[in-house]
Amino acid sequence: MSQPVKKPYNSALRAAHARATRRAIVDAAARLFVERGYGPTTVDAIAEAAGVSRKTVFTSVGGKTEALKLAIDWAIVGDDEPVPVLERPYVRAGMQEPDARRMLTGFARQVRETAARIAPLQEVVQAAAGLDEEIRALAEEGHAQRLRGMRVLAQQLADRGALKPGLTSSEAADVLWLLHDPGVYYRLVVEQHWDPDRYQDWLADSLISLLIPASYQPQTSPSPGQP
């Protein structure tokens, strides 16, 4: 008697299921972190909220700290695609904008959209950083990543001749890093009830006023070597 033919294993279907499970776990964790805080949120609570077992949380995500890190990473870019921020189409398009003022206006819009997702989680990190070494390291890495990104943007402004006299690219990066901190959005929009449009306009106006001289004239095209 011939052996029954085994159906080919659908690895794509399995990968899609694993991704959906991971997404559900991270979404549940993010919601609980914001509602309860990092400390009171347990792996068991995350598993229950996601509709999976405790073991699945560990095998799919890796634990509570890893779930928070993934939630932050995904909130920054808006999805779970493995594409770095600087390689995202909207970021690359912004970097190709020859007018520095328009570049910062577009940047302010992106910051607003990102901060709306990331600011509540950032508050969770800041609250837990003083009590948990892993979360403190996560907070420090987040600050470092933002500063690296702002150095890229500041250099783009410098390449366009768009920085005020005496203002170095490093100092411009510090200003960008400070003002686009998600905590600023949280303080103004969430706590002080600013309209998000007002926050976006304020951020754009502040950055342009602080970084770009009134005499600046935009180029008609990006400088050689710019992406």
Provide the CATH number for the domain around residue 186.
Answer: 1.10.357
Both 53 and 108 in a single domain? no
Do 113 and 35 fall into the same domain? no
Non-local CB neighbours of 35 within 8 Å, separated by 6+ positions: none
Phi then psi dihedrals of residue 145, to 5 deg = -65, -45
Q: Please indicate, yes or no, whether residues 69 and 47 belong to a single structural domain of this protein.
A: yes
- Each residue's pLDDT, cut to its tens digit, for the chain (227 residues) gives 455 544 555 788 888 888 899 999 999 999 999 999 999 999 999 999 999 999 999 999 999 999 999 999 999 888 888 777 777 887 788 788 899 999 999 999 999 999 999 999 999 999 999 889 999 999 999 999 999 999 999 999 999 999 999 999 999 999 999 999 999 999 999 999 999 999 999 999 999 999 999 999 987 654 444 44
77 and 94 in a common domain? no
Task: Residue 48: give its domain's CATH number.
Answer: 1.10.357.10
Q: Give the range of the structural domain holding residue 75, as residue numbers without chain letter.
A: 12-82
Q: Which of 82, 113, 139 is the last residue of a domain?
A: 82
Q: Among the three residues 29, 61, 82, which one is the final residue of a domain in this structure?
A: 82
- Residue 122: count other Cβ atoms within 10 Å of its Cβ: 20
Assess whether 72 and 19 both reside in one domain: yes
- Of 57, 82, 107, the position where a domain reaches its end is 82
> Would residue 133 count as lying in a domain?
yes
Tell me: do 51 and 105 sit in the same domain: no
Amino acid at 24: A
Residues 169 and 203 in one domain: yes
Q: Which of 23, 9, 103 is nearest to 57 (CA)?
A: 23
Query: Is there a domain that residue 1 lies in?
Result: no
Measured distance between the N- and C-terminal CA atoms of the chain, rounded to whole angstroms = 65
Q: Is residue 2 part of a domain?
A: no
- Count the domains in the chain: 2
